[in-house]
């Protein structure tokens, strides 16, 4: 079984049809909101819809959202629309979705996560505790449960992750802060760790993702907020006349950069995935849907960019095909490498809204 994110997957219609098969009124409501593209209007722009799947079978689903029916409130984020299909009940499979949501909340710097429910005794076994009772806008009484994410350490990559590894001494309970770790956050009382290790990022960072995902834009903002040197691989490979340097020249230049103690490198160049992953301490993966990335390459036509030495005057057919094939090709290669190097800090985003929120929070620290 694995968790996939509905809004960023490429076979939305298939999984929407599976959600429609739920025998729960709220599940049917969720399906309508997804089909009419109105879910984010109701629950917020950074809403995600994780699905627990077993091959082509849908096991469980839920939502992760900044807004719930409990309004007004300062509490967020919320897990909602929790459903497990009857044939899979009794095994607590839904805990995998809760783990995914908790990891997502952790990487976004949240201290707690919440569930609103009529049920009593249902979520306590997953580590949630009763907080209070609220009257919803429709007059219904709901019980609010919460779970603390302090010290929430996920050693396995789960959706949008905040793995607990930083370069330096590794502790299962605390991230060590060393000279080669860039931390933005308040020091704890002992001055050893940071109270929110979400923003404990290394000094050697690679930004990966499909073309059109906005790697260069993200990397530029990260450079602005951290002052780490920034290198665009496209600027190294391409010349102003749209010819390229040789592979040997490229490898030599990349090797010199990787020898440095501090850098941000953005770009695909899958042939060099592994050498960059080996050398880095932090990986940021913009794992957006093909639809989003196709729009990205179309929107940048005719605009001045700092990551290539010319202005694209028209959409390149080969680039468009590359974007379409990424999820079934280079993405799989990348995922295998991420599994191969679990000691790297991995931060994965499924939507632009998530990435922007994380960068904005980083800027404030």
Query: Rounded mean pLDDT of 123-130?
Result: 91
Confidence bin at 192 (pLDDT 50/70/90): very low
237: its two tokens: 């490979």
To which CATH superfamily is domain 2-148 assigned?
Gcn5-related N-acetyltransferase (GNAT) (3.40.630.30)
pLDDT level of residue 151 (50, 70, 90 thresholds):
low
Q: What is the pLDDT of residues 328-358, one digit of tens each?
A: 888 889 989 998 988 888 888 888 888 888 8
Q: What is the mean pLDDT of the chain?
A: 82
User: What percent of the chain is predicted at pLDDT more than 70?
Assistant: 85
Q: How far apart are CA 251 and CA 255, in angstroms?
A: 6
pLDDT band with cut points at 50, 70 and 90 for residue 82? very high
| pLDDT 10s digits, 199-238 | 578 899 999 999 999 999 999 999 999 899 999 999 899 8
Instruction: Give the pLDDT band of residue 141 (cuts 50, 70, 90).
Output: confident
Calculate helix-pair angle for 25-35, 12-19, nearest 10 degrees. Answer: 160
| pLDDT at residue 111, rounded to an integer | 87
For the segment 36-59, what is each residue's pLDDT rounded down to a tens digit?
989 998 898 889 999 999 989 999
Q: Is residue 24 pLDDT above 80, yes or no?
A: yes
Q: Are 264 and 229 in contact (CB under 8 A)?
A: yes
Is 307's pLDDT higher than 70?
Answer: yes
Tokens for 181? 């770790």
Helix axes 290-299, 317-325, angle to 10 degrees: 160
For the chain, residues classed under CATH 3.40.630.30 are 2-148
Strand partners, 231: 265
- Mind listing the pLDDT tens digit for each residue in 244-287? 899 999 999 999 999 999 999 999 888 999 999 999 999 999 99
**Residue 52 confidence (pLDDT):** 94
pLDDT the model gives residue 365: 67
Q: Is the Cβ–Cβ distance between 103 and 152 less than 8 Å?
A: yes
Give residue 239's pLDDT: 86
* pLDDT at 159 exceeding the cut of 50: no
Q: Report d(CA 77, CA 104) in Å as an integer.
A: 10
Handedness of CA 193, 194, 195, 197 (dihedral sign): negative
Residues of the chain with CATH 3.40.50.300: 199-364
pLDDT of residue 38: 92
Measured CA distances, 158 to 75, 111, 115, 309 (Å) = 23, 18, 20, 37
pLDDT at 184 over 90: no
Q: What's the pLDDT at 205?
A: 95
Residue 119 in this model has a pLDDT that exceeds 80: yes
Q: Is the peptide bond preceding residue 72 cis, with omega within 30 degrees of 0?
A: yes
Average pLDDT for 315-331: 87
Number of H helices, E strands in the chain: 12, 14
* Alpha-carbon gap, residue 200 to 192, rounded angstroms: 12
pTM assigned to the model: 0.68
Confirm if 97 and 60 have CB atoms less than 8 A apart: yes
From the options 3.90.550.10, 3.40.1280.10, 3.40.50.300, 3.40.50.720, give the CATH code of 199-364: 3.40.50.300
């Amino acid at each position: 079984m694995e968790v996939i994110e509905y809004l960023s997957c490429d076979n939305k219609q298939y999984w929407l049809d599976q959600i429609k098969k739920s025998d729960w009124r709220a599940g049917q409501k969720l399906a309508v909101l997804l089909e009419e593209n109105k879910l984010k209007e109701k629950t917020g722009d950074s809403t995600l819809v994780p699905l627990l799947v077993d091959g082509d079978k849908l096991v469980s689903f839920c939502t992760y959202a900044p807004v719930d029916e409990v309004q007004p409130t300062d509490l967020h984020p919320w897990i909602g629309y929790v459903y497990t299909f009857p044939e899979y009940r009794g095994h607590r499979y839904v805990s995998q979705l809760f783990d995914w949501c908790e990891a997502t909340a952790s990487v976004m710097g949240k201290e707690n996560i919440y569930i609103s429910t009529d049920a009593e005794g249902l979520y306590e076994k997953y580590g949630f505790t009763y907080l209070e009772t609220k009257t919803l806008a429709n007059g219904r009484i709901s019980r609010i449960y919460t779970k603390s994410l302090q010290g929430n350490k996920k050693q396995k990559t789960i959706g949008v992750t905040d793995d607990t590894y930083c370069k330096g001494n590794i502790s299962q309970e605390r991230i060590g802060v060393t000279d080669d770790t860039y931390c933005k956050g308040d020091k704890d009382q002992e001055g050893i760790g940071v109270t929110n290790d979400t923003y404990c990022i290394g000094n050697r960072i690679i930004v990966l993702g499909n073309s059109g995902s906005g790697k260069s834009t993200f990397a530029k903002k990260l450079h602005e907020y951290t002052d780490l040197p920034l290198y665009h691989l496209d600027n190294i490979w391409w010349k102003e006349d749209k010819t390229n340097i040789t592979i040997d020249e490229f490898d030599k230049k990349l090797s010199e950069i990787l020898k440095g103690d501090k850098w941000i490198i953005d770009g695909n160049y899958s042939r060099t995935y592994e050498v960059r992953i080996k050398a880095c301490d932090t990986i940021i993966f913009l794992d957006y849907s093909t639809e989003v990335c196709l729009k990205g390459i179309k929107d940048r036509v005719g605009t001045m960019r700092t990551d290539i030495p010319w202005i694209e005057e028209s959409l390149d057919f080969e680039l468009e095909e590359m974007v379409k094939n990424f999820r079934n090709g280079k993405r799989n290669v990348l995922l295998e490498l991420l599994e191969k190097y679990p000691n790297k800090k991995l931060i994965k985003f499924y939507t632009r809204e998530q990435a922007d929120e994380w960068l904005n929070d980083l800027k404030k620290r």
